[in-house]
Amino acid sequence: MKVGVPREIKNHEYRVGMTPASVHELYSHGHDVCVQQGAGAPSGFSDDDYRQAGARIVDSAEDVFEQAELVVKVKEPQPAERALLREGQTLFTYLHLAPDQAQTDDLVASGATCIAYETVTDRAGHLPLLAPMSEVAGRMSIQAGAHCLEKYLGGRGVLLGGVPGVSPARVTVVGGGVVGQNAVAMAIGLGAHVTVIDRSMDVLRQLDHHYGNRITTLFSTAHALDEAIVGSDLVIGSVLIPGASAPKLITRDMIRRMPEGSVIVDVAIDQGGCAETSKPTTHDNPTYVVDGVVHYCVANMPGAVARTSTLALNNATLPFIAALANKGAEQAMREDPHLMAGLNVMAGKVTYREVAEATGYPYTDPESLLGS
């Protein structure tokens, strides 16, 4: 199969869809992989590294999209990339369609087969292609939050761990999944006072078992959220309902009552954000202030640590990329319901229920398009 890897063009997005090691796996199975010139450089992979792995280097994104039957990316296609997508082509990348009507409209119009990393599942019901980037973003969220708490950036001027004789900061993590667990680990490591809120008792039990009385776990109710958030120096937003727009659990009223200079890092912003006051920001201009609360809402946090993130992402995506290339997209999905769970748009139809509900398209069962 002809497989293509364009250079990422989202603001400060330095990851790349395939490493030279992944390219080599495909090349050794007889596939033709083209990589846009310079695509891997920000992740530390030169064009020569790709050539040695068996890739052809092409000049432009136009070349990649024109030649490739399977396009492998990292971030959701930007408008210029969407204009290059075509019927009969498969796109494998993060999409985050529920909060993004314009992108959904363009993918439906393209006729392409669009498989979203973030809704591919595994046997345990987890999201194996979201998990590695959630590990990265969860760890980064505490770094970002600690930085934003510094006074000259608009923060309260609070050090997460405090010092002997002075209380540590209060950190509340809303959603104790992969992002949440990684945020908790970092916050505890820095000596903060940590509260985690989740609606899953299993998640809370696991965290309690692991950390004992070093953290507070709370079942997610409006009351628990209100008390914890209003008393926090730093809030991490990390809830997810797979494929759906994030629930707005953190209200404008709670934000108003938080201390001046407190910080919210809304990692769930790629699904629309879990605070009423959240809107996407970029690495160029990552924060803004509402009612005295600093908001950090960067939708591609892992792009800033591209070397780590590209390697971690490829560890998870490679088996699926190989299946798509070896079997063809339709057969690969027919044989693997977990990969089929990633299908969001195909042949002009929306094939993921939560995306259809959020964007007003009728839902089409993927099995009805793929047959058996």
Among 179, 234, 294, 305, binds ligand NAI (CB under 6 A): 179
Is 96 considered catalytic here?
yes
238 binds ligand NAI, rule: CB under 6 A: yes
Backbone angles phi, psi at 220, to 5 degrees: -75, 105
| Cα separation, 204 vs 197, whole angstroms | 8
| 71 assigned ligand-binding residue | no
Structure tokens at 220: 């997610």
In sequence order, what are the beta bridge partners of 282?
285
Write down the catalytic residue from 100, 106, 270, 336: 270
Q: 254 or 305, CB closer to ligand PYR? A: 305
**CB 310 → ligand NAI: shortest distance, Å?**
14
Is 284 considered catalytic here?
no
Q: Are 193 and 171 in contact (CB under 8 A)?
A: yes
Q: Is 218 helix (H, G, I), strand (E, B) or coil?
A: strand
Write down the catalytic residue from 31, 96, 193, 295: 96
133 binds ligand PYR, rule: CB under 6 A: yes
Among 5, 34, 229, 240, binds ligand NAI (CB under 6 A): 240
Give the interface segment with Mg ion, choosing from 105-113, 151-159, 176-184, 292-300 (CB under 5 A). Answer: 292-300
How open is the CA angle 233-199-134, to the nearest 5 degrees? 65
In which residue are the tokens 């796109």 written?
A: 91
**CB 299 → Mg ion: shortest distance, Å?**
25
| 167 assigned ligand-binding residue | no
201 binds ligand NAI, rule: CB under 6 A: no
The residues, ordered by sequence, that sit 6+ positions from 95 with a Cβ below 8 Å of its Cβ are: 76, 103, 107, 114, 116, 117, 118, 344
| Cα separation, 90 vs 342, whole angstroms | 12
The residues, ordered by sequence, that sit 6+ positions from 302 with a Cβ below 8 Å of its Cβ are: 15, 133, 136, 137, 140, 308, 309, 313
Q: 128 or 261, CB closer to Mg ion? A: 261
Among 270, 281, 305, 336, binds ligand PYR (CB under 6 A): 270
Among 302, 317, 324, 364, binds ligand PYR (CB under 6 A): 302
**CB 31 → ligand NAI: shortest distance, Å?**
28
What is the contact mask toward ligand PYR in residues 64 to 103, using x (rule: CB under 6 A)? -----------x------------------x---------
**CB 287 → ligand NAI: shortest distance, Å?**
14
Backbone angles phi, psi at 190, to 5 degrees: -90, 0
Taking CB within 5 to 8 Å according to partner kind, which of ligand NAI, Mg ion, ligand PYR, none is near residue 292?
Mg ion
> CA nearest 3: which of 78, 54, 77, 75?
54
Give the interface segment with Mg ion, choosing from 150-158, 217-225, 284-292, 294-302 (CB under 5 A). Answer: 284-292
Q: 160 or 297, CB closer to ligand PYR? A: 297
Percent helix, percent strand, percent coil in the chain, to nearest 5: 45, 20, 40
The residues, ordered by sequence, that sit 6+ positions from 116 with a Cβ below 8 Å of its Cβ are: 93, 94, 95, 96, 97, 243, 342, 343, 344, 352
Q: Are 288 and 148 in contact (CB under 8 A)?
A: no
Among 300, 310, 351, 359, binds ligand PYR (CB under 6 A): 300
**CB 9 → ligand NAI: shortest distance, Å?**
16
Q: Is 304 helix (H, G, I), strand (E, B) or coil?
A: helix
Which residues are known to be catalytic?
96, 270
Which positions lie near ligand PYR, rule CB under 6 A? 75, 94, 130, 133, 270, 299-300, 302
Residues that bind Mg ion (CB under 5 A): 291-292
Summarize the annotated binding site as residue ranges. 15, 75, 134, 198, 220, 239-240, 267-270, 298-301
